[in-house]
């Protein structure tokens, strides 16, 4: 199974608009692997097309930014925004961008040199963010990788009569129940449909996957319907499930959409740093006895985990809001609450002996709080399998939360280390060990750390 996610555009800093695809995709990749698939994770980066023509035009007019850090990337981002507006207003700038885009596709040395610098800069700035989120990719095949693989798709579509060439030279696809769309511009330039069709053909031949999962926002639903219909019409992917996992946007605490032009955009690095800072305040208050380095590690695990869980526990199609109090709450449906219950289990186990944990008799677990935990454990495989059929991690997130609630009830009603008899103590310790394992496994599949102390 191939899972495509994150896939940021080059020359832009990653922001909250990128985080949903990244988080949802990594969780799906983790869980599909746990279900037995050999998962190939791919970030299909946007490193080709007219947007690069706009960038190259801007650099030729304004000069290449100095440095190789986030500041340089921010300058590029601003240049792109300004020249994208100019291209809409001035025909000469628009044509210049088209010309640079075509020169890039044709292998012009100057265009390729600037292109390599932009791509390298963006990937180097993004890498630490992916590390913090626990995100990894097996391949990063950008759109440029498929530059020499698009002509055969266009030729195949024309030969089969799926597409026709207009008098102006453009290649147009007309399919039943789908709006007409372009496969090639009149100047020979390519489009998203061209590149994505070539990508499917390559993946089909290279990997022979059971399924290709695209984790892309809901605004691209029409694109994927057209793309999948095109490939079916061409006879491709007949034994491959093509699945678009769509999701809604992220809005600010005030309910307004986040956008750079509104001045309320939240960039990913700032988001993770803010989450870390707020979680550090919790760690300092709850565990002041721990060394500084341990409190820093806890703050990172809790802060980043809160951001990830805030997304995954909700229906991906929903619009979600940045709500710090809800994300970092130690009560209610949040990652810190689940992490806290896991840490409580580990705390109990640290004070026990391995002999106690291994010798417990489960038949002694008859209290309602104990049987509720046993039932919760039994439901975990169903929750994982539900993710595999619905393509949403919410089922597993819900299991983690409900199990953490059941753990809290057990903790309140069933003393473990001071159980009434040694036999009951051993049985409860064995249950606590199982719950610690279950919660840790659930969190890790979601891409969230499970600290032993909190």
The C-alpha atoms of residue 298 and residue 286 are separated, in whole angstroms, by: 11
Structural domains of the chain, count: 1
Question: What's the confidence (pLDDT) of residue 316?
Answer: 86
Decide if 407 is inside a domain: yes
The C-alpha atoms of residue 109 and residue 111 are separated, in whole angstroms, by: 5
Decide if 272 is inside a domain: yes
Taking the chain, what is the end-to-end CA distance rounded to the nearest angstrom? 36
Query: Do the beta carbons of residue 434 and residue 360 sit within 8 Å?
Result: no
Q: The domain that contains 340 carries what CATH number?
A: 1.10.730.10
Taking the CA atoms of 283, 285, 289 and 291 in sequence, report the sign of the dihedral they define.
positive
Question: What's the confidence (pLDDT) of residue 417?
Answer: 93
The C-alpha atoms of residue 213 and residue 210 are separated, in whole angstroms, by: 10
pTM of the model: 0.91
Parallel, antiparallel, or unpaired for β 181-184 and 171-173? antiparallel
Question: What's the confidence (pLDDT) of residue 346?
Answer: 95
Closest CA to 122 of 178, 167, 75, 171: 75
Decide if 349 is inside a domain: yes
| Tally of helices (H runs) and strands (E runs) in the chain | 16, 9
Mean pLDDT of each 10-residue bin along the chain, 454 residues long: 93 86 96 97 88 92 89 92 92 92 89 93 95 95 89 96 94 94 89 94 96 94 97 96 92 71 74 90 87 94 93 87 73 90 95 75 95 96 96 96 96 95 93 96 98 90
Work out the angle at residue 109's Cα, subtended by the Cα atoms of residues 106 and 112, and round it to the nearest 5 degrees. Answer: 75
Give the helix ranges, DSSP H, for 287-367: 292-312, 324-327, 335-350, 354-359
Question: What's the confidence (pLDDT) of residue 232?
Answer: 96
Domain that holds residue 402: 260-446
Closest CA to 435 of 349, 309, 358: 349
In 236-294, at which residue ranges do the beta strands (DSSP E only) sit?
241-245, 250-251
Question: What's the confidence (pLDDT) of residue 285?
Answer: 87
The C-alpha atoms of residue 44 and residue 451 are separated, in whole angstroms, by: 32
The C-alpha atoms of residue 450 and residue 407 are separated, in whole angstroms, by: 15
Tokens for 141?
A: 């095949």
Decide if 417 is inside a domain: yes
Question: What's the confidence (pLDDT) of residue 390?
Answer: 94
List of residues 6+ apart from 50 with CB closer than 8 A: 97, 98, 101, 189
Question: What's the confidence (pLDDT) of residue 258?
Answer: 66
Question: What's the confidence (pLDDT) of residue 264?
Answer: 65
Decide if 33 is inside a domain: no
């Amino acid at each position: 199974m191939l899972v495509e996610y994150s896939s940021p555009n080059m020359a832009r800093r990653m922001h909250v608009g990128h985080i949903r695809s990244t988080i949802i995709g990594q969780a799906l990749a983790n869980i599909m692997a746990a279900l037995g698939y050999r998962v190939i994770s791919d970030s299909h980066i946007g490193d080709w097309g007219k947007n690069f023509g706009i960038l190259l035009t801007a650099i030729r007019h304004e000069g290449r930014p100095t440095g190789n850090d986030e500041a340089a990337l921010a300058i590029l981002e601003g240049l792109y925004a300004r020249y994208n507006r100019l291209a809409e207003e001035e025909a000469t700038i628009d044509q210049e961008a088209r010309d640079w885009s075509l020169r890039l596709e044709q292998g012009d040395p100057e265009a390729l040199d600037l292109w390599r610098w932009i791509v390298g800069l963006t990937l180097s700035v993004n890498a630490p963010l992916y590390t913090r989120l626990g995100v990894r990719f097996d391949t990063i095949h950008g759109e440029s990788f498929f530059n020499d693989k698009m002509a055969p798709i266009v030729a195949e579509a024309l030969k089969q009569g799926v597409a026709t060439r207009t008098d102006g030279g453009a290649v147009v696809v007309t399919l039943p129940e789908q709006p007409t769309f372009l496969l090639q511009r009149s100047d020979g330039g390519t489009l998203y449909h061209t590149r994505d069709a070539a990508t499917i053909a390559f993946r089909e031949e290279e990997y022979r996957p059971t399924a290709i999962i695209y984790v892309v926002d809901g605004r691209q639903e029409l694109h994927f319907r057209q793309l999948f219909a095109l490939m079916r019409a061409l006879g491709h992917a007949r034994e491959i499930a093509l699945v678009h996992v769509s999701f809604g946007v992220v809005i600010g605490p005030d309910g307004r959409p986040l956008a750079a032009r509104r001045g309320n955009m939240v960039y990913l690095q700032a988001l993770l740093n803010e989450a870390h800072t707020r979680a550090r305040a919790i760690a300092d208050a709850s565990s002041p006895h721990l060394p500084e380095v341990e409190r820093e590690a806890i703050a990172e695990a809790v802060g980043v985990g809160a951001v990830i869980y805030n997304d995954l526990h909700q229906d991906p199609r929903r619009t979600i809001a940045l709500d710090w109090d809800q994300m970092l709450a130690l009560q209610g449906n949040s990652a810190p609450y689940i992490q806290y219950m896991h840490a409580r289990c580990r705390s109990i186990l640290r004070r026990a002996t391995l002999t106690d944990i291994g010798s417990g008799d489960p038949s002694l677990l008859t209290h309602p709080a104990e049987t509720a935990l046993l039932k919760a454990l039994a439901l975990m495989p169903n929750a994982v399998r539900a993710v595999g059929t619905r393509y949403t991690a919410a089922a597993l997130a819900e299991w983690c939360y409900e199990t953490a609630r059941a753990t809290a009830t057990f903790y309140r009603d069933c003393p473990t280390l001071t159980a009434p008899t040694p036999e009951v103590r051993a049985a409860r310790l064995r249950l606590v060990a199982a719950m610690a394992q279950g919660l840790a496994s659930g969190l890790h599949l979601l891409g969230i750390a499970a600290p032993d102390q909190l």
